Amino acid sequence: MTEETTQQAPEREPAAGDELLVSVVIPCLNEAENIERCVAAALEVLAREGLPGEVLVADNGSDDGSAELAAGAGARVVHERRRGYGSAYLAGFAAARGRYIVMADADLTYDFAEVPRFVRELDGGADLVMGDRMDNIEAGAMPWLHRYVGNPLLSGVLNFFFDTGVRDAHCGMRAVRRDVLPRLALRTRGMEFASEMVIRAAKEGLVIREFPIRYHPRGGESKLSSFRDGWRHLRFLLVHSPTHLFLIPGLVMAVLGALVALAVLTHIDVLGRTWDLHAMIAGSLLMIVGTQVIALGLCAHAYAVYFMGERDRWFTHMRERFRLEHGLMLGAAIALAGAAIAAVIVGIWVNRGLGVLSEERLAVLAATLIIVGIQIFFSSFLLSILGLRRQT
């Protein structure tokens, strides 16, 4: 739930009707030490550059008088009781009246004099503009762990998964066109909101630009928890990339399991040794688990496309080429192959007068093929059901 407190800001000419050109949105949680200076700096830049705009503070439940100080300094204040970096920004976005939204933290780490540069990039056709702090970090402004491990690692994973081309994906100073927010469909409430914005922009094919900015030492106490918030970012990246979370690991397991089984069945020496039943069982488990993980990945892709409105060219291409019947035939063929091997084993057993039978490797292979075939058969139905559910 949000509620609004309005403080009269300096009058400026609106960009179009009641729309302003710029809304500087600042999330705030107990920043009494800094918030007045941030608001004053933002307002001074807007006035000096002749940019019709507003400074909007999204207070996230401060109990130190931050909201009152912000309003007194000339900001418009919205109150968001649900805690979280993302919650504060979502409330601020909903209340913003600017054509462009410039985001910056309330801790004096960012220079509001950069606002015009962000505006110029948006005027030049960008949809999302990111600041890049990494070459301009002042002494003591960022902990060593964040500067050399956390941020490069998370930004690297984000770019590897989503190919955004953004060097500093977690910079808190950025700008976005307000009219693209519905396409971004931002949802997260915590610090992973920063990653979500970049990922969604990349998936939507928006124009993303980045330029260097300076990062200053923080005023006041940081609210960031290195490992908790780092894990939340990484978890978000994995959840939103089913290809890397499910499909690639599942494919690796299935192929590795098949190779192990093949080596056992053909008596190929591996590392100077001939593998036997125990390796066959391990290969079987890898094939079964790998197939299940691949099925989960396909369902995750389907859910993202059918229910979250994401654009997934790979999944769309596969959906156009392969139908339910293809999956059913593949699953049935693999299961029948396993059943045929099982029938051969039974035939051998009968031929030996129901006596001793030593076909353990073939028995494991038969069971594996039957299980994998059944998994594919019913997973194909599940994917079809997801598609039908979306159509209704």
Confidence at 12, pLDDT banded by 50, 70, 90: very low
pLDDT, tens only, 334-350: 999 999 999 998 888 88
pLDDT at residue 179 above 70? yes
159-166: long-range contacts, CB 8 A cutoff, minimum separation 24: 160/244, 161/237, 161/240, 161/241, 161/243, 161/244, 162/198, 162/199, 162/202, 162/203, 162/241, 163/202, 164/198, 164/199, 164/201, 164/202, 164/208, 165/208, 165/210, 166/130, 166/198, 166/208, 166/210
What b/e readout covers 68-95, taking b as 16+ CB neighbours within 10 angstroms? bbbbebbbbbbbbeeebbbbbbbbbbeb
Higher-confidence residue of 203 and 224: namely 203
Percentage of residues in the chain having pLDDT higher than 90? 59
Percentage of residues in the chain having pLDDT higher than 70? 91
- Cβ count within 10 A of residue 249: 16
Maximum mean pLDDT: which of 45-59, 147-161, 316-330, 344-358: 45-59
pLDDT, tens only, 133-163: 999 999 988 888 888 888 888 899 999 988 8
Average pLDDT, integer, range 253-262 = 95
The reported pLDDT for the residue numbered 2 is 41
Confidence at 111, pLDDT banded by 50, 70, 90: very high
Average pLDDT, integer, range 12-21 = 59
Q: What residue spans define the domains of the chain?
A: 2-239, 242-391
Higher-confidence residue of 312 and 28: namely 28
Average pLDDT, integer, range 12-24 = 68
- Supply the mean pLDDT for the chain: 87
pLDDT at residue 3 above 50? no
List, in order, residues 6 or more apart from 81 with CB less than 8 Å away: 1, 60, 61
Q: Which of 12-21, 213-222, 277-286, 355-364 has the lowest mean pLDDT?
A: 12-21
Higher-confidence residue of 240 and 113: namely 113
CATH 3.90.550.10 fits 2-239, yes or no: yes
The reported pLDDT for the residue numbered 14 is 44
